[in-house]
Amino acid sequence: MLEVSGISKSFGGLQAVSEASLKVSEGSIVSLIGPNGAGKTTLFAIISGFLKADSGTVNLYGDALGGLKPFQVCQMGMVRTFQITQPFAKLSILENIMIGAYARIQNPEDAAQEAYKVAEHVGIRVPLESSAADLNVAGRKRLELARALATQPKILLLDEVMAGLNPTEVEEILKVIREIRNSGITIFLIEHVMQAVMSLSDYTYVLNNGRLIASGTPKQVAADPQVIEAYLGQGASKLNQNPAIDA
């Protein structure tokens, strides 16, 4: 349903992304991994309309997204979260999520109802009237997720949603993400936490220095010597024949 083809982007002299092509099929969970600085967030930004690619196309259900502004991309059913959470700090958690809901809903009461529903699904346990600024990291990640979900997307782009979470919190979020997928939403995520990548994804793409160097099921990718070298350095693939990596 999401087709990215030949995307390239450079900043000044630096080639951030180079000829990246990938597919995300409907109802799947696809992950994008790679070492820091590989260009993953840049690619996300391009796909969601925050950056313009130098070349290449992005298609959602066959419709080209190139040149669309982020809000239009959201209206078409693709919404992204941010690596560094961006809560509406001075507003309540409820209002934060309602703002997401307002993407589809006009009436404040209906938006509030939707917000409560979404908050529960995502597992926000603090009272929704409290300020978003009072949330801890895990709470902010959940809020980010809830807000995006409230826009009733068809595909959700999650940028390192697990970063900064402890193992228990990671488990909880994993459950939530699986439930989201089961409710019919496609998920495309950037992730560093390998446990999440391995257990969640149906398919994985690996980005290194702006290029896609491998793709396949998580198991296949983990055994790929190029991937091992990308993470651990040259020659590392020869050192360890064990396919279960912990990055």
Partner 1 sequence: MNFQKPSWMILGTLILVLLPWILFSEFLISFAVIVLYSATIGHSWNILGGYAGQFSFGSVLFFGTGAYTSSVLQMNFGINPWIGLIAGILMGALVGAFVGFLSFRFGLRGSYFALITLAFAEAFRIIANTVEFTGAGMGIYIPLDQHPLNFQFEGRTGFYYVILALFLIATAITLKLENSRFGSRLKAIRENEDAAEALGINTFRLKMQAIMISGGIGASGGTFYAQYYLYIDPSIAYGVDKSVEMLLVSIIGGMGTVMGPFIGSLVLHLINEISRHFINAPGLSLVVYGVILVLIIGFLPKGLTGAFQSQKKVKRA
Q: Are 132 and 115 in contact (CB under 8 A)?
A: no
Q: Residue 210 CB, nearest distance to partner 1 (Å)? A: 23
Range in contact with partner 1 (rule: CB under 8 A) among 22-30, 54-62, 90-98, 180-188: 90-98
Sheet holding 211-216, edge to edge: 78-80, 155-159, 186-190, 29-33, 203-208, 211-216
Binds partner 1 (CB under 8 A): choice among 18, 31, 41, 151: 151
Q: Residue 96 CB, nearest distance to partner 1 (Å)? A: 8
Q: What does the DSSP 8-state code read for residue 197?
A: H
Under the criterion CB under 8 A, does residue 242 sit at the interface with partner 1? Answer: no
Binds partner 1 (CB under 8 A): choice among 102, 188, 203, 205: 102
Q: Are 129 and 110 in contact (CB under 8 A)?
A: no
Q: What is the DSSP string of 69-128?
A: -HHHHHHTTEEE--SS----TTSBHHHHHHHHHTTT---HHHHHHHHHHHHHHHT--S-T
Range in contact with partner 1 (rule: CB under 8 A) among 22-30, 75-83, 211-219, 239-247: 75-83
Sites of contact with partner 1 (CB under 8 A): 48, 50, 69-71, 74-75, 79-82, 86-91, 95, 98-100, 102-103, 105-108, 111, 126-127, 130-131, 134, 136, 147-148, 151
